[in-house]
Amino acid sequence: MSKESLANLLTEERRFAPPAEVAADANITAAAYEVAAEDRLGFWAEQARRLSWEQEPTETLDWSNPPFAKWFADGRLNVAYNCVDRHVEAGHGDRVALYFEGEPGDSRVLTYADLQREVSKAANALTELGVAAGDRVAIYLPMIPEAVIAMLACARIGAPHSLVFGGFSADALATRIEDADARLVITADGGFRRGQPSALKPAVDEALTRPGAARVRSVLVVRRTGQETPWTEGRDVWWHELVDRQSEEHTPQAFEAEHPLFILYTSGTTGKPKGILHTSGGYLTQTSFTHHAVFDLKPETDVYWCTADVGWVTGHSYIVYGPLSNGATQVLYEGTPNTPHNGRWWEIVQKYHVTILYTAPTAIRTCMKWGDDVPAGFDLSSLRILGSVGEPINPEAWVWYRKHIGGDRTPVVDTWWQTETGAVMISPLPGVTVAKPGSAQVPLPGISATVVDDEGRPVANGSGGYLTLTEPWPSMLRTIWGDDQRFVDTYWSRFPGQYFAGDGAKKDDDGDIWLLGRVDDVMLVSGHNISTTEVESALVSHPKVAEAAVVGATDPQTTQAICAFVMLRGTAAEDEGLADELRAHVAKELGPIAKPKRILAVDELPKTRSGKIMRRLLRDVAENRELGDVTTLTDTTVMELIQRKMPSAP
Ligand code: WT7
């Protein structure tokens, strides 16, 4: 992040106190910070009692072998029972769990009793397909109720799920199936996207041609769009044929608190994606607590809506596990915000009287672009709390969100966390914190975070550095699937004894935390983290490309736009169709989101003497800036050549 935007953030002086009525009735008050500070582990042991355990834990944290944590290790529970059955048993079977809104306008309402029946049938179906506790299940589905049902069915039988975002390509799916060694894939014929059915099943078929995916025994296919679907007899099974005929009874079995719940892949800066492993008791404790505290959820009256896809961690923690463990009523929406019109989201808020909305800064900026009059055309007066996640939210977007969506009365909570942290770590509390637009502000009760310098020492207020987490937390990742050493190296070696999140941050004069983005080479495109290395590897896998360097250049719409510099192979010519050809190739390898916006063929790439590409210089070029320090370059004339080839910014 440039010095300029840093200065802008820190001159932000607007303040927004919690509304009196939210403060008066808040689930969490300021006292929670003191209670947790006095006895952090006692605080988490207390939060674990939010859940229903078959065997209550007597141990809270085992940190005898850091950084490998065990939370509530002698406790036993069933995660799906906690998210579904116990609400039915408590007399809330008629409460709506999901208001599903399909993109074409179809809708479905599922109560907790419905969900219990559907999850039980699905669990019985998985068992019939031979899935046993510990077997991994890959889930590649659109945003339909079956995605939630499939996740809970896996949790119910102790089979860790691995969701792969429906926008990912067959290659990305194959890598993830292979790494997790999945035995079953749950998918759909397709989903609706921008008014069109968009096929999913063909990508599964292609992924399963890879030798590494040979151990997948069955593919369970939900019929969503009704489009024609390729079929492999003996392997493929329709959901409606198998699940619908199952018994509605299924007795959940309790598993150890540290039983794996899911694997979710994040793009690494180097090499293959990392399979982030989350387990059961600690994860559910923290997602449940944070959802209750940060969104002030009142399950009897609130209608909650998180716009994320279930394929991302936000969907895991704040569509499935957090809200359902708390007995929330929520909206699940399949499609895009502008189908069939730019006000679709606000129409949904109006239709279901949504009270709590959780979305990402990139979506907020897009809505700002579409104009204030769009949300103004709908009744948004039901909203009482707004949340943001995924990247730093610019103060202007924060203020716009509060004013045009929240009627200038709702608190906005800017929640910082990661796939790795499993749940929210740093966030204002809506009934407690005097909010500063653009700042996540304070670690939640029970969480220890700080900003450190290069030597790992906490910085003084008013200074910047690296965000670290200084104590283990219940929903922390337990390891990288199959690679403990990479877990240690990636997160725990930069600052020994502290977890390094990879983000830069600054403490203001009050000690509040402002996130400044990733310090490594991950690009942020429309709320998605995409690694430079993955895109470079995809480019280089094209026969015409010898070498590639990719940078994220600041872009007003998508935060960053992918800009690629490629060196062609000797025989390849730089013709007109090249950029499109490479873009299509990247889309196939990684998915359309990873397509470079600009591609420039160059003769050389700037490298250090040790052979490392100097991406920061390329970023300078892509952003039309004067070049930074070029002294460590092998050949300084390289940059002049590149600059001469660069057309001025679009
Ligand atoms: C990275 C984690 C957490 C779910 C979605 C992303 C950035 C996330 C914020 C925020 C500033 C944020 C960080 C973080 N990030 N929330 N409120 N303010 N930055 O999960 O894909 O694992 O990405 O997203 O850079 O490290 P993820």
Instruction: Verify that 424 and 558 share a domain, yes or no.
Output: no
CATH (domain of 58): 3.40.50.12780
* CA angle 266–440–83, rounded 5-degree value: 60
Can you tell me whether residue 443 is helix, strand or coil? strand
Per-residue pLDDT, 637 = 85
Q: Which atom of ligand 1 is nearest to the CA of 501?
A: 26
The whole-angstrom separation of Cα 191 and Cα 165 is 12
Closest CA to 417 of 371, 348, 477, 366: 477
Can you tell me whether residue 515 is helix, strand or coil? strand
Phi, psi of 38 (to 5 degrees): -70, -40
Per-residue pLDDT, 560 = 92
Instruction: Verify that 420 and 325 share a domain, yes or no.
Output: yes
Per-residue pLDDT, 650 = 41
Q: Which helix (H) or strand (E) is 532 found in, with range?
A: helix 532-540
Instruction: Verify that 559 and 440 share a domain, yes or no.
Output: no
Mutation pick for ligand 1 pocket among 264, 359, 416 (CB with most ligand atoms within 8 Å): 416
60 is in an annotated binding site: no
Q: Are 83 and 114 in contact (CB under 8 A)?
A: no
DSSP string, 34-100: HHHHH-HHHHHHHHHTTS--SB--S--EEEEETTEEEESTT-EE-HHIIIIIHHIIIIITTSEEEEE
Q: 323 CA distance to ligand 1 centroid (A)?
A: 20
Distance between first and last Cα of the chain: 21
ipTM: 0.99
Instruction: Verify that 423 and 530 share a domain, yes or no.
Output: no
Q: Which atom of ligand 1 is nearest to the CA of 419?
A: 22
Residue ranges making up the domain that contains 314: 15-78+279-472+503-520
Residue 602: inside a domain: yes
Instruction: Verify that 409 and 311 share a domain, yes or no.
Output: yes
Instruction: Kindly report whether the peptide bond that precedes residue 437 is cis, defined as omega within 30 degrees of 0.
Output: no
Instruction: Verify that 286 and 334 share a domain, yes or no.
Output: yes
Q: Are 78 and 252 in contact (CB under 8 A)?
A: yes
Mutation pick for ligand 1 pocket among 286, 398, 417 (CB with most ligand atoms within 8 Å): 417
Q: 437 CA distance to ligand 1 centroid (A)?
A: 17
Q: 389 CA distance to ligand 1 centroid (A)?
A: 6
Per-residue pLDDT, 611 = 59
Q: Please provide the average confidence, as pLDDT, over all residues in the chain.
A: 92
What lines the ligand 1 site, CB under 6 Å?
A: 266, 313-314, 389-392, 414-419, 440, 501-503, 515, 518, 529
569 is in an annotated binding site: no
* Percentage of the residues of the chain whose pLDDT score is greater than 70: 95
Show Cβ contacts of residue 174 under 8 Å, excluding neighbours closer than 6 positions: 206, 207, 208, 210, 212, 213
415 is in an annotated binding site: yes
CA-nearest residue for atom 6, ligand 1, is 390
244 is in an annotated binding site: no
Per-residue pLDDT, 604 = 85
In tens, the pLDDT along 471-488 reads 999 999 999 999 999 999
Instruction: Verify that 623 and 586 share a domain, yes or no.
Output: yes
CA distances from 18 to 225, 384, 439, 511 (A): 44, 11, 15, 19
Is the pLDDT reported for residue 455 higher than 60? yes
Compare 201 and 505 and report the one with higher pLDDT: 201
248 is in an annotated binding site: no
Is the pLDDT reported for residue 11 higher than 70? no
Q: 392 CA distance to ligand 1 centroid (A)?
A: 8
Is the pLDDT reported for residue 96 higher than 50? yes
Mutation pick for ligand 1 pocket among 426, 515, 521, 560 (CB with most ligand atoms within 8 Å): 515
Mutation pick for ligand 1 pocket among 394, 418, 526 (CB with most ligand atoms within 8 Å): 418
CA distances from 415 to 42, 225, 537 (A): 24, 35, 32
Closest CA to 352 of 305, 413, 411, 297: 305
Instruction: Verify that 639 and 622 share a domain, yes or no.
Output: yes
Per-residue pLDDT, 520 = 66
CATH (domain of 636): 3.30.300.30
Q: Give the confidence band of 180 by pLDDT, cuts at 50, 70, 90.
A: very high
196 is in an annotated binding site: yes
Q: 86 CA distance to ligand 1 centroid (A)?
A: 32
CA-nearest residue for atom 8, ligand 1, is 390
Mutation pick for ligand 1 pocket among 290, 388, 503, 514 (CB with most ligand atoms within 8 Å): 503
Q: Which sign does the torsion angle of CA 598, 599, 603, 605 carry?
A: positive
Q: 141 CA distance to ligand 1 centroid (A)?
A: 23
Q: 573 CA distance to ligand 1 centroid (A)?
A: 40
Residue 157: inside a domain: no
Q: Look at the chain and report how many structural domains it folds into.
A: 2
Residue 626: inside a domain: yes
CA-nearest residue for atom 3, ligand 1, is 418
Q: Which atom of ligand 1 is nearest to the CA of 308?
A: 5
Largest CA distance in the chain: 74
Residue 122: inside a domain: no
In tens, the pLDDT along 215-233 reads 999 999 999 999 999 999 9
Mean pLDDT of 305-324: 97
Show Cβ contacts of residue 385 under 8 Å, excluding neighbours closer than 6 positions: 22, 295, 296, 355, 356, 357, 410, 411, 413, 430
CA-nearest residue for atom 5, ligand 1, is 390
Mean pLDDT of 57-75: 98
CA-nearest residue for atom 1, ligand 1, is 418
187 is in an annotated binding site: no
Residue 547: inside a domain: yes
Residue 63: inside a domain: yes
Per-residue pLDDT, 7 = 40
Q: 420 CA distance to ligand 1 centroid (A)?
A: 10
CA-nearest residue for atom 19, ligand 1, is 391
Instruction: Verify that 386 and 307 share a domain, yes or no.
Output: yes
Instruction: Verify that 378 and 338 share a domain, yes or no.
Output: yes
The whole-angstrom separation of Cα 194 and Cα 104 is 9
In tens, the pLDDT along 501-532 reads 888 888 999 999 998 766 766 788 888 767 77
One-letter amino acid identity for 25?
Answer: D
In tens, the pLDDT along 571-585 reads 677 788 999 999 999
Q: Give the confidence band of 569 by pLDDT, cuts at 50, 70, 90.
A: confident
Mean pLDDT lowest among 288-297, 495-504, 525-534, 555-564: 525-534
Residue 592: inside a domain: yes
Is the pLDDT reported for residue 491 higher than 60? yes
* Percentage of the residues of the chain whose pLDDT score is greater than 90: 75
Instruction: Verify that 614 and 516 share a domain, yes or no.
Output: no
Mean pLDDT lowest among 342-356, 404-418, 625-639: 625-639
The whole-angstrom separation of Cα 375 and Cα 381 is 11
Is the pLDDT reported for residue 268 higher than 70? no
247 is in an annotated binding site: no
Domain edge (last residue) among 490, 520, 550: 520
Per-residue pLDDT, 124 = 98
Residue 255: inside a domain: no
Instruction: Verify that 420 and 314 share a domain, yes or no.
Output: yes
95, 98, 101, 107: CA torsion to nearest 10: -50
Mean pLDDT of 95-118: 98
Per-residue pLDDT, 633 = 72
Per-residue pLDDT, 1 = 34
